[in-house]
Amino acid sequence: MYEKLFSLEGKKAVVTGGNGYLGSVLSRAMADFGANVAVADLETREQEHERMISIACDVSDTGSIRKLYQETAERFGGIDVLINCATYGAGYGPLGTVERMSDEDWHKGLDGAAGTVFRATREVIPYMERAGGGSIVNFGSMYGIVSPDPSIYGDSGANNPANYGAGKAAVIQFTRYCAAHLAAKGIRVNSVTPGPFPNPRVQQNDAFLQQLGKKTMLGRAGTAEEIAGAVVFLASGASSYMTGSNIVVDGGWTAW
């Protein structure tokens, strides 16, 4: 009776940052649950699933986002799901401390986290209105809720600059604002807040990975597959009574 509760059959989805560590896995999961998925990223990539297409898009550029949506709507017949996963930053490394960060890096980091979500949301609204509603899922971060603990970063080179978390906090709040203001159009807006999901191809510092694990209740970092369930849930009818919510998937990092 409830076998189709999480079904995405007939959904027409766009995933920004869909080539990324988390974006590629959740795009595939959504296609497996029945959605047509436009994987949007800076470069196109061959897709292995028949319901997935790849479209080049730069989410720093409104014109590029408009082209992405036009092409998606032409290929799929509309858009009713948007996953805002793309992000870009500035100020990583020794110049990322509050004392040293430039105005330029500050603005770029905020824009990479929150400006991306704002532009992609603004431009998708007419498509979702035409579809009679939709679901938008924004990617926050645990660092939009709590501060990075500087003591765990050591020489990992992964120090997290102040503009990232400030931008992600904005994403979580912007999610609530949009939920309130788009509900009348049938558009639900929620966020997913990942905890530590280090990409094994990028982060191989064992000492640092152990420190990350210790900060969680479950004692380990997450793997990309472990974010997909929350996204499929929020995109699907299973979450039809949810809007303005934030699902935290962090192994317990922010709960103690």
Ligand X SMILES: NC(=O)c1ccc[n+]([C@@H]2O[C@H](COP(=O)([O-])OP(=O)(O)OC[C@H]3O[C@@H](n4cnc5c(N)ncnc54)[C@H](O)[C@@H]3O)[C@@H](O)[C@H]2O)c1
Active site residues: 164
d(CA 155, CA 136): 37
Within positions 179 to 198, which residues make up the interface with ligand X, using CB under 6 A? 194, 196-198
Residue 85 or 234: which CB sits closer to ligand X?
85
Q: Nearest residue to ligand X, using CB?
A: 20
Shortest Cβ 193–ligand X spacing (Å): 7
Among 6, 21, 118, 153, binds ligand X (CB under 6 A): 21
d(CA 91, CA 101): 6
For residue 164, the surrounding DSSP H or E stretch is helix 162-182
The CA R_g of the chain, rounded to the nearest whole Å, is 18
Contact call for residue 22 and ligand X (CB under 6 A) = yes
Contact call for residue 110 and ligand X (CB under 6 A) = no
DSSP state of 219: S
Give the interface segment with ligand X, choosing from 6-14, 16-24, 120-128, 232-240 (CB under 6 A): 16-24
12 forms beta bridges with: 36
Among 34, 78, 88, 153, binds ligand X (CB under 6 A): 88
Shortest Cβ 175–ligand X spacing (Å): 13
Within positions 192 to 231, which residues make up the interface with ligand X, using CB under 6 A? 194, 196-199
Shortest Cβ 59–ligand X spacing (Å): 4
246 forms beta bridges with: 191
**Main-chain phi, psi angles of 199, to 5 degrees:** -75, 120
The DSSP annotation for 36-66 comes to EEEEEESS----SSTTEEEEE--TT-HHHHH
Maximal CA-CA distance, the chain: 58
51, two tokens:
């319901």
Contact call for residue 111 and ligand X (CB under 6 A) = no
Residue 7 or 246: which CB sits closer to ligand X?
246
Residue 134 or 251: which CB sits closer to ligand X?
251
Residue type at position 188: R
Contact call for residue 124 and ligand X (CB under 6 A) = no
Shortest Cβ 5–ligand X spacing (Å): 25
Contact call for residue 148 and ligand X (CB under 6 A) = no
Among 13, 20, 47, 90, binds ligand X (CB under 6 A): 20
For residue 191, the surrounding DSSP H or E stretch is strand 187-194
Residue 7 or 60: which CB sits closer to ligand X?
60
Shortest Cβ 227–ligand X spacing (Å): 8
d(CA 49, CA 150): 41
Residue 114 or 179: which CB sits closer to ligand X?
114
39, two tokens:
């994987």
* Residues binding ligand X (CB under 6 A): 16-17, 19-23, 41-42, 57-60, 85-88, 139, 141, 194, 196-199
